[in-house]
């Protein structure tokens, strides 16, 4: 059966000192082993966090990656470099990358392929903006995001993807999708994958919810049948809050 996952996306927060403190506090915390925990620090802190996490069950993710093997791409980081510092997941398609850095479906498709070829597991983000939700086009928008960047994959390849549904209007806004809205979209995503691949495959894929998840709302969201955990931004910057979220599964 699919895994419950809580992934903390630190975004462009926490310098080396803050990263060490956060990891130390997380290691001291008491959380359920049955949930897979993933931390995504900035590139500069990956190596440090990898060392601090050694001997724990916490996995390391990067927040982005370049799609080429190597070469003249000043300022970029390759899959191989990430693997060499213990990274096993990579967040791709985050709405901030799509909106601020103009990452489109074609580019994301190339990044997904590059990640999988290098045995990095993509945490692939999808989600509609407020306008799309108000116009009732949210299912259609998410279907397009999934099919354009993931549906070229074989069944064996897509099994390695974690999907994160993050309605853009709920990210960093304090506004959360209701547990019912999350469940409706997650069930829709799972059915969409089942129609393209198989029910057996779709049932094995973890679909995370992201967007203002906090200790106070995580339990109700995670209780929904098709919600397999969360991608956490702001609340992942406090070990205490992240721990409470990790412990929010029934």
| Binding residues vs ligand PGA (CB under 6 A) | 9, 166, 171-172, 210-213, 231-235
CB of 198 to ligand PGA, least distance (A): 29
Q: Find the shortest distance in angstroms from Cβ 130 to ligand PGA.
A: 14
Structure tokens, 131: 């306008």
Tell me the residue number closest to ligand PGA, measured at CB. 233
Q: Please identify, using beta-carbon distances, which residue of 78 and 234 lies nearer to ligand PGA.
A: 234
Give min distance, CB of 6 to ligand PGA, in A: 11
Note whether 225 and 1 are within 8 A (CB): no
Supply φ then ψ for residue 233, to 5 degrees.
-95, -95
Q: What is the token pair recorded at 224?
A: 């929904």
Q: Shortest approach of ligand PGA to residue 224 CB, angstroms? A: 17
- Please enumerate in sequence order all residues whose Cβ is within 8 A of that of 123, keeping only pairs 6 or more positions apart, or say none: 7, 38, 61, 89, 90, 91, 92, 162, 163, 164, 208, 231
Beta bridge partner(s), residue 59 = 38
> Could you list the active site residues?
94, 166
The tokens for 85 are 């510092």
Centroid of chain to Cα 226: 16
Q: Which is nearer to ligand PGA, 71 or 174 (CB)?
A: 174
Q: Residue 106 burial by CB count (10 A; 0-12/13-18/19+): exposed, middle or buried?
A: exposed
User: Which is closer to ligand PGA, CB of 116 or CB of 164?
Assistant: 164
Structure-token match 């099994």, residue found: 159
Q: Compare residues 172 and 216 and give the one whose CB is closer to ligand PGA.
A: 172
């Amino acid at each position: 059966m699919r895994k419950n996952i809580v992934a903390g996306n630190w975004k462009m927060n926490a310098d080396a000192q803050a990263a060490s403190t956060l990891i130390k506090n997380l290691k001291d915390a008491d959380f359920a082993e049955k949930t897979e925990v993933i931390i995504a620090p900035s590139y500069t802190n990956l190596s440090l966090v990898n060392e601090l996490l050694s001997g724990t069950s916490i996995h390391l993710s990067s927040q982005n990656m370049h799609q080429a093997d190597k070469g003249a791409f000043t300022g970029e980081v390759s899959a191989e470099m990430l693997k060499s510092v213990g990274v096993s997941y990579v967040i791709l398609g985050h709405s901030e990358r799509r909106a601020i850095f103009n990452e489109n479906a074609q580019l994301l498709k190339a990044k997904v392929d590059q990640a999988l070829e290098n045995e990095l597991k993509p945490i692939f983000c999808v989600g509609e903006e407020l306008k799309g939700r108000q116009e009732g086009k949210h299912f259609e928008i998410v279907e397009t995001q999934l099919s354009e960047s993931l549906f070229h994959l074989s069944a064996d390849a897509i099994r390695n993807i974690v999907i994160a549904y993050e309605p853009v209007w709920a990210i960093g806004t304090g506004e959360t999708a209701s547990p019912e809205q999350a469940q409706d979209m997650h069930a829709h995503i799972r059915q969409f994958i089942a129609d393209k691949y198989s029910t057996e495959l779709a049932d094995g894929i973890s679909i995370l919810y992201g967007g203002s998840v906090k200790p106070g709302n995580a339990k109700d969201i995670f209780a929904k049948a098709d919600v397999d955990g969360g991608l956490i931004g702001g609340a992942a910057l406090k070990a205490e809050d992240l721990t409470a979220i990790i412990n929010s599964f029934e």
